[in-house]
Amino acid sequence: MIPSTLRGLVRRLGVILVLGLLAAGLVGGPAAAAGGTYQQVTGFGSNPGNLTMYQYTPANLPAGAPLVVALHGCTQTANDYHAHSGWQKYADLWGFAVVYPQTGTANNSLSCFSWFDAAKDTRGRGEAASVVQMVDHARAQLGSDGRRVFVTGLSAGGGMAADLLADYPDVFAGGAVDSGLPAHCATTQNAASSCQNNSQNLTPAQWGDKVRAAFPGYTGPWPRVAIWQGSSDSTVKPVNGTELRDQWTDVLGVGQAATSTRNLPGNTTVSNYADSTGRPAVALYSISGMGHGLAVNPGSGESQCGTAGAYFLNTVCSSYHTAVFWGLDGSPTAPGALPAPTGVRVTATTGSTVSLTWDAVDGAVSYSVRRGGTAVGSTASTSYTDTGLAPGAAYGYTVAAVDSTGATGAVSATVTATTTGTAPRCFTASNYSHVAAGRAHQSGGYTYANGSNQNMGLYNVFTTHTLRESPAGWFTLADTGCPA
């Protein structure tokens, strides 16, 4: 059940979080759709979560195809999600099956999946266990590729999808959380409202610990995660998108600074967070002005999908971009999908900047520039100027091309650039020695740094300071640290 404090909000809005995995299928039996079959599946397991299983199977689906699990929201059904979300289009186009779990009023008065209930959303228990039983049944029936099983969900369905990624990283290779919540943000009904509406003020490591605690001792790979969030969502506040980003970048061991960004239709900006190989591990899709719902974009184009309706909002086709992020379109997603840029060279240096240029790479929409292995900038052109550098210092640079999916290609060879000027030097000594060496002077029994004229205290052999010289002949106090 949803906490009583949420009921008024839900009834006013007509829906709350779209929780749990989406059940797809017609209650009355199988139906043909674009040559495929959409039907209810029974006998999939002991079903401890009391869910119903629906499944869409494209015509002539080969063995070894991927499998997607799609989660509906509160007050919705599997049929709603199947009809509006656009997943059927890409299942037919790219050849994968879709499982739609469905909950009902017997589990929750608003037909919500229980992302906030530790008795239902944890490994081996309740609804989470029922969903994995559906995956096992579909894999056995269809011969699906167990290495390519993915889960997506809207709102509370997104919350349940995040929980499943944490509970079963050995089952799911990737996930997508649409207008949803971080994994295991709440473990009781009373805590659910706070997760929806407020920042939990946790560090990325604390968010990551919630995931790691869901399957203690797990040492395998973690799933890649796409996050979709509208900036005007009043049901699941936008802070949840940021917290999801913090949680999964920490789990996957990548920083919280985007390695590349680009614009999509529907006022959408995608920020990618690549791993050490350059492959996007987390993608945050921020949709300016969108409220609470699943992003769809009706139309016949390949990147268009879905049908607009209540909580299916006409902005951009999230199902298309999520499927591409997972690699379901058959495009290469491994590191090095694009070749490394050639001709990387230094064109100019100053005391604080380095300018680079390189040859264009076919298929690149942008380039990621790295200094010392850390991304420092992104550009759509074939040149870049790095700023804020120290004079007289050497820096190593590499460049990688980024394709239209956000995948980062192979990294170029390193080029080294040295800024102009003299590198700062640091000296630690007594005030007496500084004066003797010409770095300071004394007056009236006190010592003053040459150049800055900072007071260093009494002129004696007992008082010690560190001085930084930059530029030559100009000294400043640097007792708390002397960066070169």
Residue 189: enclosing H or E segment and its boundaries? Answer: helix 189-197
For residue 283, give the H/E element and its range.
Answer: strand 280-287
The residue type found at 405 is: T
436, amino acid identity: A
Residue 155 is among the residues annotated as catalytic for this protein: yes
Burial 364-385 (b: 16+ CB within 10 A, else e): bebbbbbbeeebbbbeeebebe
Spatial separation of the C-alpha atoms in residues 139 and 400, rounded to whole Å:
37
User: Using CB atoms within 10 A of its CB, is residue 29 exposed (0-12), middle (13-18) or buried (19+)?
Assistant: exposed
| Angle at the Cα of 106 from the Cα atoms of 71 and 70, rounded to 5 degrees | 5
Length of the chain: 484
137/71 Cα distance (integer angstroms): 17
DSSP class per residue in 219-268? -SPPPEEEEEEETT-SSS-THHHHHHHHHHHHHHT--SS-SEEEEETTTE
Other beta carbons within 10 angstroms of residue 324's beta carbon come to 21
Q: List the one residue out of 280, 319, 284 whose CA is nearest residue 407.
A: 280
Q: What's the Cα-to-Cα distance from 199 to each of 114, 185, 207, 240, rounded to whole Å?
A: 20, 11, 12, 7
CA distances from 278 to 103, 180, 333, 482 (A): 39, 26, 10, 33
Q: Is 150 within 8 Å of 66 (Cβ atoms)?
A: yes
Report phi then psi at 219, rounded to 5: -125, 5
Of residues 37, 11, 19, 180, the one with CA closest to residue 102: 19
Q: Which of 205, 188, 43 minimizes the C-alpha distance to 118? A: 188
Annotated catalytic residue within 155, 286, 318, 470: 155
Strand pairing class (446-449; 455-458): antiparallel
Could you give the residue numbers annotated as active site? 155
